[in-house]
Structure 1
Amino acid sequence: MLFYLFICLPIIQVSLAESAYEYKSYKNYKLYEVEGDHENFNKVLENLKDFVELPYFETRNDKLEILIAPDVNSLFEEITSFYDLKTKVVVEDYSEIIRLEKSGYRRNSVFSWTAYYDVDEIYAYLGNISKEYSNWTEVVVGGESYEGRKIVGLRINTPTEADEPKKIIFIESGIHAREWITPATTTYFINQLLTSTDPKITSIRDQFEWQIFPTVNPDGYHYSFTWDRMWRKTRSKSTFFCYGADPNRNWDYNWLQHGATSNPCNYQTYGGSEPFSEKETRTLSEYIQHLDNILAYVAFHADAQMLLVPYSDSVDHIDNYDDLIKIGKTSLEYGYKVNGAKYDGPATAAEILYKASGGSMDWVRHALGTPLVYTYELRGRSFHWPPDRIYEQGDEVTQMMLGLITEACNLDYC
């Protein structure tokens, strides 16, 4: 059977390459859930990933989730059967998921949270809202992308009579292009900070300076929106045929040691040619380094539904780990009260997910010593969340941030 595999896979690879210039609809791609021996999960992936495109695979809850092209389905089922693995199709046609996401309701020209938007529309929203609240918000540029886009964020800093500058809470989202729910919830949270009449929300808005960047990988996000829904990386040119690096494996902390590959054609976790090889990570890190008084750095990802603390590649605990766990638990308790959604953690990724090096959160903690550093993995499945339910996660995130700050202040971090 394996002889058949290695004879057939180069043909499949060629056929995929020939269609690379067509719009990637993901028509009849199936999302499988695989059960069995974890060592055999790895054998299946090793047999496949160097020969065919695997747009998505992830091991979670003791199961392997994997997205398989229609011309690979029968081969995939043969391989999993050979390794005595049980398969179940959980999405018959991934193009239907994309269709549902793209058909979200848009309220004419008004930015809303019932639809997903491309990067220019997100930036337009930031520009418009900064004009509406011009006395205490401004658009800021945190860096630049390979294709020349700005990494645009919103600075919120209400007037104060105090002489000392406020402590900064920095929020980053959208570093992985296909995680659409993260820019959506981040802009929702911006709207809550600016428009809420809840005194608890206005209090945390006024107490800190906020720097919030909804999409720090604008090229990749735009590409995922217009060309390939499952695109994860940047859009820099790696080789003649291969593009992009994983921007959350490209920061200069234990670079390429865990959870990343040096193969530039790897669809998911190529760590780049060197630390900060990607213009996005390099320029954003320079911007962050020039910010004084950062109290908290918060990154939003999807969709493992957990809260992570540094360091992602270690089970050893940093000096204020106990405080981070206590603050994190309070944050998750606040979020749970909204929709009853239970998150795993808080813990390091190495403890409850997998080891990963070269991420933004870990670099910020290591290089800058920022006291409060977290990564929230939001909800969803295979990076899908219905657009008409964005508000659910937006409300959760708002309350989780309130809980985080409340407990941090209780522990004298504020």
Structure 2
Amino acid sequence: MSQLFIIFLVLPLAHTTFIDFRSYKDYKVYKIVGNNEDLTKIIEFLNGITELPFYNVRNNRAEVMIAPELDEVFSNAVNLFNLEKTILVDDYSKIMAEEKSANRQDSKFSWTAYYDVDGIYDYLKNMSTVYSNWTELVVGGQSYEGRQLLGLKINTPTETDKIKSIIFIESGIHAREWITPATTTYFINQLLTSSDPAITTLRDRFEWQIFPTVNPDGYHYTHTRDRMWRKTRSKSSLFCHGADPNRNWDYNWGQYGISTNPCNYQTYAGSQPFSEIETRTFSEYISNLDNILAYIAFHSDAQMLLVPYSDSVEHTGNYDDLIKIGNTSLEYGEKVNGEKYDGPATAAEILYKASGGSMDWVRNQLATPIVYTYELRGTYFHWPPSRIFEQGDEVTQMMVGLFTEACNLGYC
């Protein structure tokens, strides 16, 4: 009998139930350091007896969120491997309270607070009205609960009939990564309102299709029920819901970085490729677009730039160009706040192997030449709402740098 199983027998079973809004009162985030094998065993053990709202293991370090009733089980497991734990966050509910109390500028959409999906969609609708001559609402698909995957197309008039290349931006595929829709709407605002020649040139040179939240059901759920929810909200089993929509695309589906357990809180890949209506309808929409030059996905919060393919250390045909373009993008971003990103590289090289993601499917299926995933900044999926503009300005300059270099290399 394993020592971890003895811990399970001796100590009370930890479980999580909630009917209304999950408060995360006294939930702690711990850091533990050791070899990845031991850390993975601890995480697997804990996952076997409860839902872990958040965890990651890489580079011989683990971070994990622990419910108060699981503290004793967790401490015993850590002690069994002679590891040390450090508290990073003492009470996650305090972080949530900061997010909820953020300042909103009357009824006007702002970047000092986080908005639910209806607020984001109202902003897109308003912008399509204010700038009706060169913006248009576009529907990229639908959700399990019947919401639209709503985006904004920006296409300023030109003096020629030349069809512009499309820059396609996706964010919010993981529901709890709130900074990504906020940053994406900030970038939309920059494209529409800035008088900076570098930004207006960027806007006018391409057609932009930007989708701030492509998992609207899950995102709404993080605002109304469970802040740490990551997946969709489909019914995946008798008692469980959702699949990870960035493990559900039909590229090497189910190979790496996934769970086959429908109740897994984070990485259940779905019953089959495109089992989720969000990924299925969204991929159909993308497939019907001609002339896509670039596909950009925004996630948080690893602070790195990733290139295809996420489950391999083998490199794509224009890998060297992607690295050069990506480095220029990061250099532009670093000049804003002095923040340095890791990469560019594949996720398999600097993060972890993961299959079934949108970026890899787009690259493989559509042969889109410029494809990246930006992992924005933050800790435990939190970024202070009063500082959204910092990442917004960084991302704006990253986009300027990315397409300046891409054009220099002949992609435009």
Q: TM-score, normalised by structure 1?
A: 0.98
Name the amino acid aligned to 1:43. Answer: K
Alignment of structure 1 residues 318-357 onto 2, 5 Å: 318-357=316-355
Work out which of the residue numbers 155, 158, 161 in structure 1 matches 2:156: 158
**Given that residues 25 and 91 in structure 2 are in contact (C-alpha distance below 8 angstroms), is that contact kept between their aligned partners in structure 1?**
yes
State the Cα distance separating 1:63 from its structure 2 match: 1.6
State the Cα distance separating 1:60 from its structure 2 match: 4.4
- The residue number in structure 2 matching 1:215 is 213
Alignment of structure 1 residues 16-95 onto 2, 5 Å: 16=16, 19-60=17-58, 62-95=60-93
- In the alignment, structure 1 residue 255 sits paired with structure 2 residue 253: yes
**Given that residues 254 and 269 in structure 2 are in contact (C-alpha distance below 8 angstroms), is that contact kept between their aligned partners in structure 1?**
yes
**Given that residues 9 and 51 in structure 1 are in contact (C-alpha distance below 8 angstroms), is that contact kept between their aligned partners in structure 2?**
no
Seen in structure 2, the aligned counterparts of structure 1 residues 243 and 175 have a Cα distance that, compared at 3 Å, is same
CA distance in 2, matches of 1:8, 1:214: 47
- The residue number in structure 2 matching 1:393 is 391
Name the amino acid aligned to 1:257. Answer: Q
CA distance in 1, matches of 2:141, 2:83: 45
- In the alignment, structure 1 residue 5 sits paired with structure 2 residue 21: no
Tell me, what secondary structure is at the counterpart of 1:11? coil
**Given that residues 7 and 76 in structure 2 are in contact (C-alpha distance below 8 angstroms), is that contact kept between their aligned partners in structure 1?**
no
CA-to-aligned-CA distance 1:339-392 (integer Å, 9 cap, x gap): 010100000000000000000000000000000000000000000000000000
Tell me, what secondary structure is at the counterpart of 1:50? helix
Name the amino acid aligned to 2:128. Answer: S
Seen in structure 2, the aligned counterparts of structure 1 residues 43 and 60 have a Cα distance that, compared at 3 Å, is closer
CA-to-aligned-CA distance 1:179-232 (integer Å, 9 cap, x gap): 000000000000000000100100010000000000000000000111100000
Tell me, what secondary structure is at the counterpart of 1:74? helix
State the Cα distance separating 1:9 from its structure 2 match: 6.8
List runs of 5+ in structure 2 lacking aligned partners: none
CA distance in 1, matches of 2:23, 2:292: 42
- Alignment: residue pair count: 410
State the Cα distance separating 1:46 from its structure 2 match: 1.6
Work out which of the residue numbers 99, 123, 126 in structure 1 matches 2:124: 126
**Given that residues 10 and 51 in structure 1 are in contact (C-alpha distance below 8 angstroms), is that contact kept between their aligned partners in structure 2?**
no
**Given that residues 153 and 207 in structure 2 are in contact (C-alpha distance below 8 angstroms), is that contact kept between their aligned partners in structure 1?**
yes
Name the amino acid aligned to 2:90. Answer: E
List runs of 5+ in structure 1 lacking aligned partners: none
Tell me, what secondary structure is at the counterpart of 1:12? coil
- The residue number in structure 1 matching 2:361 is 363
CA distance in 2, matches of 1:99, 1:163: 52
- In the alignment, structure 1 residue 276 sits paired with structure 2 residue 274: yes
CA-to-aligned-CA distance 1:113-145 (integer Å, 9 cap, x gap): 000000000000000011000000011100000
State the Cα distance separating 1:61 from its structure 2 match: 5.0
CA distance in 2, matches of 1:144, 1:64: 36
Tell me, what secondary structure is at the counterpart of 1:377? strand
- In the alignment, structure 1 residue 310 sits paired with structure 2 residue 270: no
State the Cα distance separating 1:3 from its structure 2 match: 4.3
State the Cα distance separating 1:40 from its structure 2 match: 0.7
CA distance in 2, matches of 1:84, 1:401: 46
Seen in structure 2, the aligned counterparts of structure 1 residues 3 and 315 have a Cα distance that, compared at 3 Å, is closer
**Given that residues 303 and 378 in structure 1 are in contact (C-alpha distance below 8 angstroms), is that contact kept between their aligned partners in structure 2?**
yes
Tell me, what secondary structure is at the counterpart of 2:49? coil
CA distance in 2, matches of 1:172, 1:363: 13
Alignment of structure 1 residues 166-177 onto 2, 5 Å: 166-177=164-175
**Given that residues 175 and 216 in structure 1 are in contact (C-alpha distance below 8 angstroms), is that contact kept between their aligned partners in structure 2?**
yes
State the Cα distance separating 1:51 from its structure 2 match: 1.2
Alignment of structure 1 residues 371-390 onto 2, 5 Å: 371-390=369-388
Name the amino acid aligned to 1:11. Answer: L
Q: TM-score, normalised by structure 2?
A: 0.98
